[in-house]
Structure 1
């Protein structure tokens, strides 16, 4: 039978790790008190300094393996980081995607893509904060999205519209979901969808327009 015993030495090690992470995040958040966030809210501004501090401390690269410049922690540590940020009264919504959106590149990207993008995401020189899924005519019904990508030689030409793409203004890269096989040519609605890694720095002004929605 498989060993289902919880080994105390492993549990203690994880408990120590969690405690250290909480303490470190708590100390960092102490430099960004309530007035910092109230001022940002009044000015409808982005917490650039806070996000940089998290990046420099390695928290936003927690899930990126060390071989790609990250910290190489697991999901438990990542969850604790986000939980503690909110526990301290700060706002992880401004940056949480930088932690996990890169998972698509890590899991499905080529070796070349991993080497090119992951170290820069880990050190913050590339911001992968945006995930383009929701559209004006498709919210939770993702399979009905209308954005299409058509092959043109070695490239794809993408046409469509996304909405509620959080942090698009503050992202260099975006994961974009588009249909590469028409809906009437697939057996299941979930087929024919592809994920693209879009360099927004090149796309802005070259077919890509971003319009903020103030809430």
Structure 2
């Protein structure tokens, strides 16, 4: 895999061209209004970028995780927020790898054509957090339907998605041998669900990121909406979560490069005491350090993508890529804000907006502490800490 091949460069140039139509002023106004960037998402969809990973036989481009990561990286590097579209990229893996042929035929061509959006994945719950095996949402088989009851939290883009991947317990925790067993995944028609048992409650937050709390009250969904085998949903969903971590790493790398370029440009232009502030090593060094760390995180991103696209277990690399990139982008954000001084807090410079956006990835979609625990246990052989 060559990150700088003609194909990769063509992808970068294509995304950059589209993003040029949605400049800083557009994203600033969207952020101020706490609105969803519908025009951008529609243009992004119409250009085929969200269908990049769908196989050609279903109407997509048949590209891999590496190419998808470049697409999302460039959105952030251009000053946008790919958090508004990334869900469809990684949610796709669950359906692609574990869905039946009938499910793929039913949904993928419409998703590729932009007629359906698969932007939401409902996993997290208030009382379980990152301990997914403790989820309490249940799915009980009754004839040709499953009845869903429970609650989810921090579920993104529900109000701007047609379909949702849902994880629920089909066998009680006290009846399974392994706590990861007994969970199943379903594909849910959101509009139909809201008519008969799904309530969506928006959560206001510090980032303009559309996220929600969901309540399921005897929601009935067709049994045919079960993806794969009943009880194996946790294993299935890990495929999507590992892809998610690699893609989030790419987004953070895009953010980091935006911060570094923004800081270097301002340091060259801003004159204090009759000299550009970029002449001062106290200004230079944090920017240079941020650049180095972004480049190092990028290498782990490519390793994770290469493993994933070649059918290898990418869990460790994806986790480490996400950790390194999120840390590097946050440090780049701090360097950029410090370089701008007071102007870094002014909305018109966009630094404070991107500063808030990239801070999210220290916490989600998996916290840095959980990644450290994973590495300690699975790579270093240390005792499990929880």
CA-CA distance at 1:11 after TM superposition: 4.6
Size of the alignment, in residue pairs? 205
Q: Helix, strand or coil for the counterpart of 1:125? A: coil
1:83 aligns to what? 73
1:166 aligns to what? 156
**Is 1:111 matched with 2:101?**
yes
1:47 aligns to what? 37
Is there any run of 5+ residues in structure 1 with no aligned partner, and where? Answer: 1-9
- Matches for 1:1-215 after TM superposition, within 5 Å: 11=2, 15-215=5-205
CA-CA distance at 1:198 after TM superposition: 0.7
CA-CA distance at 1:169 after TM superposition: 1.1
Normalised to the residue count of structure 1, the TM-score between the two structures is: 0.92
Normalised to the residue count of structure 2, the TM-score between the two structures is: 0.52
1:7 aligns to what? none
1:5 aligns to what? none
For 1:145 and 1:203, the matched residues in 2 are separated by 20
RMSD, aligned CA: 1.2
Is there any run of 5+ residues in structure 2 with no aligned partner, and where? Answer: 206-386
1:4 aligns to what? none
Q: Helix, strand or coil for the counterpart of 2:168? A: strand
1:6 aligns to what? none
Runs ≥4 in structure 1, deviation > 6 angstroms?
A: none
CA-CA distance at 1:100 after TM superposition: 2.2
CA-CA distance at 1:205 after TM superposition: 2.6
For 2:129 and 2:158, the matched residues in 1 are separated by 17
Q: Helix, strand or coil for the counterpart of 1:163? A: strand
For 1:213 and 1:92, the matched residues in 2 are separated by 19
Larger Rg: 2
Q: Helix, strand or coil for the counterpart of 1:177? A: strand
For 1:211 and 1:79, the matched residues in 2 are separated by 31
Q: Is the CA contact 1:147–1:161 (under 8 Å) kept in the aligned structure 2? A: yes
For 1:117 and 1:188, the matched residues in 2 are separated by 32
CA-CA distance at 1:120 after TM superposition: 1.0
For 1:209 and 1:138, the matched residues in 2 are separated by 20
Q: Helix, strand or coil for the counterpart of 1:136? A: coil
